[in-house]
Chain A
Amino acid sequence: MSGPAPATLAGLESIAAQALECARRAGAAHAEACVESARDFSVRVRGGAVESLTQSGTRGLGLRVIVDDAVGFVSSTDLKPEALADLARRAVTLARFSTPDPANVLPTPGDDAEAGATAALAIFDPELVALSPDRRIEMALVLERLTLAHDPRVKRIDDVGLSSQEGASVIANTQGLARAWSETTLGLFAVALADDRDGKQRSGVYGVARRVLADLPPLEAVAREAARRAVARIGARPVPSARVPVVMHPDIAAAWLTEMYQAFTGEAVLKRSSWLTGRLDQMIAAPRITIVDDGRMPRGLGSSPCDGEGVPTRRNLLVDRGRLAMLTYDTYTARRAGARSTGSATRSYDSVPGVGHRNLHIAAGDESPECILARVDRGFYMDDQGSFGFNEVTGDYSFQAQGAWIERGERAFPVEGVTVASSSLDMLRAIEAVGNDLRFDNQVASPTLLIGEMTVSGAGGE
């Protein structure tokens, strides 16, 4: 079952076909249409009542044309036939301002049955579609109640909400490629606030998203984790600067992996803007590290039958037991590098395809997080961070961090106001343990990691 709304998909396919025809008439040698429609639902609750409720449906078209090897791109929400003709003319005119480049090609359909094999991916859930707005609101209200009920120190919430999206996508091009699929996503999040000294509040943020309703963790588990995170922060203080082992919570490790992804793209290596330039087939990480970008993981938030250009997605093994095994490409950058597309084009209807990740993760190891912690005599457990602190061309890492100080294998007290710094290559090589706690709450995931040594900067020297 790839979606309940064949009428919708057929409607989108018809718009795509019209857009391609308009592009041909306007003089495009090649064209690609991407049409997306989505039903969005979002509820925020507070004080046992709905604070805001947004429900809507959207539909948009992106049209990429190639004229004399140069690219023009247009997008619009106005899909009336006369508007499509105008858009196509604009795209063709715009292409004259781009530089001709023989690497500007569109993928051909190939003989891959994979792209049609949506069912195995299980990214569409009729039960999620059937879930009534009232039931969704009720889930958010229950989540708020449970978040507040968990610990007496959690007296209020900053935000609790549920959002969902039911989407249908079509990609078609003048090479005869045509793909269509449907997908669903539902996300829940809670931000708990716990009182600390001096009027300070501590927030605990936790959110999960899933493709299918049956995969959703119990509301109680989401609430408990948000409350736990807020309470764990009470009394946090800085520590003196030191070079110590750092245990990364899965969220922190996943955030690092997200930052690193750019360096694995063929485009960055081609431009030499990647810190992995010249390291293909070399050991870049400890042998216990395997990094995978899997576009075909069943029920994966990043799974899709094909990429943003209609090329079938794959399971890409980026780092194989420490060795940089491959780089990722879309059709254009693959042609430039003399490689093949790795099914890594990502986009929305209103953007030109570019290279991006899908279910990107560090493969699980076999140690429990508790065992990993127990290995550390004195160090830092990092479980929250600021948003900025990564240098994408050097891989240098310097993030404001919060967490706990580790003494004799246990969390001794909560820590805030420190910065954790190193460089990604040093960190990858210094990974001493990989947890068995890999879980996909987002598109990017990692188990707990132990990094042998990083600089933790605090309020002063030792």
Chain B
Amino acid sequence: MALLPDAEPDLSRLLDRGLVDELLSLGLAGGAEFAEVYGEHTVRSGFTLEEDRVRTSEYAVLEGVGVRAVRGDQTGYAYADGFSPEALREAARVAARIARDGASAARGDQGPRAFRVVDAPAPFRLERPAPIALDEAGKVALCRRANDAARAHDGRIHEVTVTLVDASKRFVVANSEGRWAEDRQYRTRLAVVALALAGDQRQQGFASGGGCVEAGYFERERTPEAIARESAGIAVTLLGAREPEAGAYPVIVGPGWGGVLVHECFGHGMEGDTIRRETSIRASQLGQRVAARGVTIVDSGIVPHSRGSFRVDDEGTPAQRTTLVEDGILTGYLWDWLNARLTGHRPTGNGRRSSYRHFPLCRMTNTYIEAGREAPQALLASVKRGLYCKSLGGGSVSPADGNFSFQVTEAYQIEDGRLTWPVRNATLTGNGNDAMLKIDGVADDLSINGTTGSCGKDGQWSPVGVGQPTVRFTEMTVGGTLA
């Protein structure tokens, strides 16, 4: 029982259907073809433990309503903090101004349609969601356990920072086409940063756990001790690591978080806004080979317990599994409501927003490479000299030309089919346009990391999952100081 029970407000009382109807009518006034109201109440809590002390305990409430009006490909958006009807009416009027020059638009004089509640199945159920089922003392205890385990792992662990952050979000979204959808989402993330020191050497490790998880997850599936040992282990390993050899050579990327590669260097170019605007090279490649044979790429909003999953997206479209690439051939794109409508597609449940303070964008959910048939060991065995990347850090891609780069956080040199010494400070670079064509081996050990990813786009952050099995690339450019 939480010491600070959240007074979870009844959103449908704060934002009753009569008021929503009125806001939609105000949004349509002046000629917009579509109006949408998004009301949100989010509670976050956070604990930071560093230098063996709980430095801060935090609690935050974010609540308010955003109104979107659309005419053609033009979007007007305004929002208000809180649920004051007068402030919401003003927001609706401001959003409606986008259509002020179009008083004679076709549907401008029609009001919103009667609401139908979106009935989508939940991809998974949470009996005791961690953010509300664990109390403050329980959350602090998880942080302490992680701290103790990281310090106990190795005498060279000098400093440990543990953060536990969770969020309980509920929202209602309704639009002038008669859609009404509500959802509750619970996300938790426990992260451990461990600093190892040896003489003048210092290295840092990172590991995390969580997602849309039950309170029991941290006992049954991934304990604070396991997360801590992973983080501390990386830090200590890096102390003895060598610099990478610079150049282009075979690279194997391990399962799980390595999928950040497919997210960045392929997924972004599949988002409907870049397809409609033709700013993505993928816009003209439907039906064409974009990846090697045996490579299937999926975006799925229904992966159990991943932080990238949900029942309905932030436009009320049910989450779904979308195949982007089937055996190397491009088969479909990701669509939010607006870009789907402008191009004659159906939304795929990829309309997402950071909060009511932003209008939705086309975003990925959980993006991953499907399992192949090979054994991970077999992929390794045939590499004479290369780099095995067990864990990647952050990555980015330039959408126009496809150039990407990733920080490698844990890697090992491959010599004659075997892992040898650890390697640090390696950077993987390449071009997203052909990276998926350079895959020459996909193993059967698919793993989806739904614990930690956050994707930034146009100033908005979305929780995402990424995944892949062990994947081998014929060649990638590895940056380092040894030329």
Contact = CB atoms under 8 A, between A and B. Distances in A.
A369 B202 CA distance: 36
Contacts of A49: 74
B4 interface: yes
A398 B427 contact: yes
A202 B279 contact: no
A99 B49 CA distance: 9
A265 to B, nearest CB: 13
B404 A400 contact: yes
A58 interface: yes
B59 A74 contact: yes
A396 interface: yes
A68 interface: no
A386 B429 contact: yes
B480 A398 contact: yes
Interface string B24-67: 00000000000000000000000100111111111111111000
Interface in A237-286: 238, 241-243, 271-273, 275, 277
A201 interface: yes
B204 interface: yes
A392 B202 CA distance: 10
B322 interface: no
Contacts of A198: 433
A58 B358 CA distance: 12
B237 interface: no
Contact of B246 (A71, A98, A457): A457
Interface in A412-435: 416-423
Contact of A202 (B400, B424, B426, B431): B400
B180 interface: no
Given A46-B277, A49-B74, A71 B396 contact: no
Interface stretch (B78-86, B120-128, B182-190, B366-374): B78-86
B204 A393 contact: yes
Contacts of A398: 407, 425-427, 479-481
A98 B137 contact: no
Interface in B227-251: 246-248
B81 A389 contact: no
Nearest to A75: B60
Contacts of B74: 49-53
A352 B57 CA distance: 10
A97 B59 CA distance: 12
Contacts of A87: 61
Contact of A420 (B59, B279, B394, B479): B479
Contacts of B81: 58-60, 77-78
Contacts of A202: 400-401
A271 B54 contact: no
Given A52-B75, A54-B77, A400-B429, A94 B357 contact: no
Contacts of A59: 81
A272 B425 contact: no
A455 B246 contact: yes
A71 B57 contact: yes
Given A53-B77, A389-B407, A273 B159 contact: yes
B79 A393 contact: no
Interface of A: 46, 49-60, 70-78, 87, 90-91, 93-95, 97-99, 101, 156, 158, 193, 196, 198-203, 233, 236, 238, 241-243, 271-273, 275, 277, 350, 352, 384, 386-389, 391-394, 396, 398-400, 402, 416-423, 455-462
27 contacts: A53-B75, A57-B80, A75-B61, A94-B57, A94-B59, A98-B54, A99-B53, A101-B53, A101-B55, A156-B279, A238-B477, A273-B204, A350-B60, A388-B393, A388-B395, A391-B424, A391-B425, A393-B204, A398-B479, A399-B405, A399-B427, A416-B403, A419-B429, A455-B246, A455-B480, A457-B479, A458-B248
Given A72-B56, A77-B64, A97-B137, 14 more contacts: A53-B98, A54-B76, A55-B94, A59-B81, A60-B81, A75-B60, A158-B277, A158-B399, A200-B281, A273-B202, A275-B202, A386-B403, A419-B429, A421-B425
In the A-B complex, the 8 residue pairs with the closest CB atoms: A419-B479, A400-B405, A457-B246, A386-B405, A203-B400, A387-B396, A99-B53, A388-B394
Interface of B: 3-4, 47, 50-64, 73-82, 91, 94, 97-98, 136-137, 140, 158-159, 195, 197, 202-204, 246-248, 277-279, 281, 284, 357-359, 393-396, 398-407, 424-427, 429-431, 433, 477-483
